Structure 1
Amino acid sequence: MGRSFTVYVAVLAATGSFLFGYDSGVMTDVIESPNFLAYFQTTQTSAIVGAINSTFSGGAVIGSLQGGLTMDRFGRKKTIQMGALICLIGAVLQSAAQNLAMILTGRILAGGAVGLMSMSVPVYQAEVAHPRSRGLIVGLAQQMIGIGFIVSTWIGYGSLHAPETSQLQWRLPLAFQVVPALVLVIGMIFLPESPRYLIEEEQYGEAMRVLRKLHFDGTNDEWIEAEFFEIRRTIEAEKSVAVQGWAPMFTVPQWRTRMLHGVAVQVFTQMTGINVIGYYQTIMYKALGFTGNRNTLVAGLYNCVGPIANFIFVVFLLDRVGRRRPMLFGTLGISLALICEAALNSQNPDGQRIGYSIGGVFFLFAVSVIFSMSFGPCSWVYMAEVMPMQIRGKGNAFAVGVGNWAVSTLWNQVSPIALGQIEWRFYFVFVAWNLCVSFPVIYFLFPETKQKTLEEIDLLFAQRIERIPDEMTQREKEEAGVSAMNVENTKLHN
């Protein structure tokens, strides 16, 4: 089946990323609902709204860290299903909420589910992808996040046309989460497990079958066999020195270095300010003079431009230009856009200067486009690539849980207050971080990983474990469906 099947697998698994985008974006329109604000007796810039968003992110921290345990114990596939099932429960609680406690509990569960899926989906995609197209395959995660934002915005926009007396304004958008969650729970049943996880579990015959289904194009038998034994050789070498638990990520120098790369790229992604804009853009548009339906319409358009830019980037550019250069471009481009945004806001405090207001919207849109062609897809791809097999589950869990969701929780809580108190000056927090921290760290410390196998990336970090396992028995070779001659003589051909 080859490439088309791999893309199908990646897209269906990325329904988990769709839920990430939808659940993250749905509150943007929910907090714009007059009925919701009246029902819970709150305002858009209140601590309650901050708590609703921060509990979602806080739940995601817990879910991400939990994924480090479930991925190693139950596999990539079941971990994604588990996240979808938890999301289903959270969606029911939110849409049926009778009080604030139900909303908060539902958001915590939805956050936990999204955290679980946000770290497991890119790992699953990276492990099923061919090295030449791994950027595209893992980049689909960011693409589906963006589509989730689009769908949440337009469902929210349509729901806000209901009368202000109708709870449909906010219950319908929250209830829609059930649909993709069900698709994922059922759909994952028909997808294969990661071949690398199968090899780790010593299910060699099944692993070879899955590799052939994912990558066979009618002419590359030798490459598939070589890939199989390269993966097995690396996993068995790592097993020979592995220590169980979380401690090796921090105590084994080579693993600590690579785990910190994954954490750093997630922190840098959050410090672009993209999620602050995503969650609170309606507040920003209101400061620019856009109110009522115009406000949510602009939010809907904003959520469309990013996925379009992301699609162009992951399909045509990511696997050519690599990871480093787009992220360096992103730190500079986003910083410039935020500086322009702050300048326009400072000269338009009452939102009455139309030209300045349009310019303000333009630069917020520019942030989304630049992010979607840099940190958006690159952060997930790079994080999944740099983790060695023995800590890939826990390492990605820690990177997403701490680097992404813990930082997101902080900004979700303080951003509505900051936007209300210091207004446009808030943007300079992100500008300073991008220019003083993100850019120099990426420039001096991040190696390029494009088009390398996950096992070759071990060598890129000059930290590969060199122990070669004992020779396989003839029975094991036959189980894997290859000949002894191929085992001994095949070399990797890209």
Structure 2
Amino acid sequence: MPLSPRLYTFLCGSVAAFGAALFGYDLGVISYVTVAPNFLSVTGLEEPTTQNENYLGFIVSSMLLGAFAGSVPAGLIADKFSRRFSIVIGGLVFIVGGILQTAAASKGMMMAGRFFAGWGIGSLGVLVPLYQSEIAHPSQRGRMIATFQFSLGLGAFIAGWVAYGCAQGSPGTALQWRLPLAFQMFPAIPLVSLIYLLPESPRWLMIKGRQEESLRALARLHASGNIEDPFVQGEFMEMRSKVTEEASMQASWSDIFRNRTNARKVLLGVILQFSVQMTGVSAIQYYSPRVYSAVGFKGNTPLLIQSINNINGLAGELLCILFLDKVGRRIPLIGGNIISGICFAVCTGLAKQFATGTTSSRGLGILFVAMTFIYNNIFSSCIGPLSWVYPVEIMNTGIRAKAASLTTMASWLANFMIGQVSPIAFAKIGWRYYLVFTVCSFTNALTFYLFFPETKGRTLEEMDSYFRDNHWIVPLARVQGVSVSEREQQLAHGQTTAVLPHESKEEPVVYEEKA
């Protein structure tokens, strides 16, 4: 029995999401590696001095520095050579980084491995959501891109249990940390080997002037190859009228900012990516042994807690995939950040009691863990996935790759900052560090309420007109929601949902081929 077009397209996006598993694994494994005695001995970081704390922080955050550096060329390669080719390059660079980390004989070699792995991760953080957004059926675009965060969580889940098993089975040996680091390269193999079995992005083919190939790719994705399908024909006509007018040539970086609608959308993407890190997710994930040890859990128990928490995160990410296209984007972002702020407020109070010696109650320690579990579930279902969905779906095809590079760079920059300062902050100000994430979560919720329009149900081609014609302050815009089924009927009857630049009051950007 052949697969339905929507299931086939969803599976294509899920294969591409293997790129996020690389990120999730590398993100999750490092907290186990940096507490392994043999790792500290090999890298010369056994003594808990300020200098060594700085080195440990940089080992953690050098992956993020590499991701920041890898974001820009990813967009350029994707525009020049195709989405699939650029994903392969990102996967291969990651493998090089994984080899260097596994074979690390010094802290310098470890940092180099983390940097190259980060370069590959940074590339894939741009490319996978970009590819997914451009192949997705409008009715499942949110859930498809949310598979990126699910795969990220799956990678962290696998990392946690592999590293915990090695810590239990081979404590104090090189195997305790080298085997978990070696295992991170396995998800890259299906990504690199299978990506060319998937259709190319029909929108990239369109901006390259390959219209017949674009139509065939669209039909393969959304109609089991039937190029005469009314919905496919409607999608194709809308895409052709929009893409050929606004993005027939590749835009320069300056074109992103010359147009106020483009600049607004990039600004929202940057704010969203930066805000996600300011909820405290990286501080908990990178330094979970230290966090849980501070509230009374010793030995390998903190590692076990974090491994169980990774399962909890996966459950949240699955909820997001199931319900995102039903509830939209604004409600999860606003509500999720409010609950995040409440969780960190409680954690702050509990951490203070342990730090000041007011209590050493096992029960309060368990309550602290419970609050981090609630936070992780809310982050995984409401906040994390939206940081990949929203920025790529609001951009037009002419700027999508470059704009995704810029917005993703904001994530890596914030992530790098958290990874670098957290060990120092925990050492210097202790429980007060949690206040930063408490305040930021609440201010995030207010920002999303004021400035982030709902995008559920809208086609990629109508995003320009939607943002161009609506107030920057969302509560003042009074825009009605849209029905996915209504949009599908419009496309099937040849009715475009996009407003072209010549129909708008705003002066359109004229893209010219840049040398």
1:490 aligns with 2:497: no
Q: Residues 299-339 of structure 1, C-alpha deviation per residue, up to 9 Å, x if partnerless?
A: 10111101111102221x11011001110001110000000
Amino acid at match of 2:182: A
Q: Which residue of 1 aligns with 2:401?
A: 393
In structure 2, do the counterparts of structure 1 residues 296 and 451 end up closer, same or farther at CA, with 3 Å as the change threshold?
same
Equivalent position to 1:432, from 428, 435, 439: 439
- By how many angstroms is 1:462 displaced? 2.5
Taking the aligned partners of 2:492 and 2:209, their CA distance within structure 1 comes to 20
Amino acid at match of 1:414: V
Unpaired runs of at least 5, structure 2: 471-489, 498-515
In structure 2, do the counterparts of structure 1 residues 334 and 220 end up closer, same or farther at CA, with 3 Å as the change threshold?
farther
Q: Which residue of 2 aligns with 1:319?
A: 325
Q: Which residue of 1 aligns with 2:344?
A: 338
Say if 2:233 and 2:492, in contact at 8 Å, map to a contact too.
no
Amino acid at match of 2:467: F
Q: Which residue of 1 aligns with 2:290?
A: 283
Taking the aligned partners of 2:496 and 2:257, their CA distance within structure 1 comes to 32
Q: How many residues align?
A: 468
- By how many angstroms is 1:433 displaced? 2.0
Say if 1:14 and 1:121, in contact at 8 Å, map to a contact too.
yes
- By how many angstroms is 1:179 displaced? 1.0
Taking the aligned partners of 2:303 and 2:267, their CA distance within structure 1 comes to 38
- By how many angstroms is 1:232 displaced? 1.2
Amino acid at match of 1:391: I
Q: Residues 243-298 of structure 1, C-alpha deviation per residue, up to 9 Å, x if partnerless?
A: 74211112221211111111111111111111111111111011011121212111
SS, match of residue 289 in structure 1: coil
Say if 1:254 and 1:463, in contact at 8 Å, map to a contact too.
no
Amino acid at match of 1:12: V
1:90 aligns with 2:97: yes
Q: Residues 158-197 of structure 1, C-alpha deviation per residue, up to 9 Å, x if partnerless?
A: 1112444420011001111221112211111211111110
SS, match of residue 418 in structure 1: helix
In structure 2, do the counterparts of structure 1 residues 488 and 262 end up closer, same or farther at CA, with 3 Å as the change threshold?
closer
In structure 2, do the counterparts of structure 1 residues 39 and 210 end up closer, same or farther at CA, with 3 Å as the change threshold?
same
Q: Which residue of 2 aligns with 1:198?
A: 205
Equivalent position to 1:310, from 314, 317, 322: 317
Taking the aligned partners of 2:189 and 2:250, their CA distance within structure 1 comes to 37
Taking the aligned partners of 1:389 and 1:314, their CA distance within structure 2 comes to 24
1:297 aligns with 2:304: yes
Q: Which residue of 2 aligns with 1:378?
A: 386
- By how many angstroms is 1:219 displaced? 11
Q: Which residue of 2 aligns with 1:18?
A: 21
What TM-score, normalized by structure 1, do the two folds share?
A: 0.91
Alignment of 1:148-227 (within 5 A): 148-216=155-223, 221-227=229-235
- By how many angstroms is 1:78 displaced? 1.1
Amino acid at match of 2:300: N
Relative contact order (C-alpha < 8 Å, sep 6+): which is higher? 1
Amino acid at match of 1:404: S
Q: Which residue of 2 aligns with 1:254?
A: 261
SS, match of residue 292 in structure 1: coil
1:347 aligns with 2:350: no
Taking the aligned partners of 1:68 and 1:253, their CA distance within structure 2 comes to 21
In structure 2, do the counterparts of structure 1 residues 452 and 220 end up closer, same or farther at CA, with 3 Å as the change threshold?
farther
Q: Residues 102-128 of structure 1, C-alpha deviation per residue, up to 9 Å, x if partnerless?
A: 111110000010000011101111111
- By how many angstroms is 1:32 displaced? 2.2
In structure 2, do the counterparts of structure 1 residues 65 and 20 end up closer, same or farther at CA, with 3 Å as the change threshold?
same
What TM-score, normalized by structure 2, do the two folds share?
A: 0.87
Q: Which residue of 1 aligns with 2:238?
A: 230
Equivalent position to 1:28, from 27, 31, 40: 31
Amino acid at match of 2:192: V
Q: CA RMSD in A?
A: 2.1
Alignment of 1:56-135 (within 5 A): 56-135=63-142
Amino acid at match of 2:495: K
Say if 1:162 and 1:168, in contact at 8 Å, map to a contact too.
no
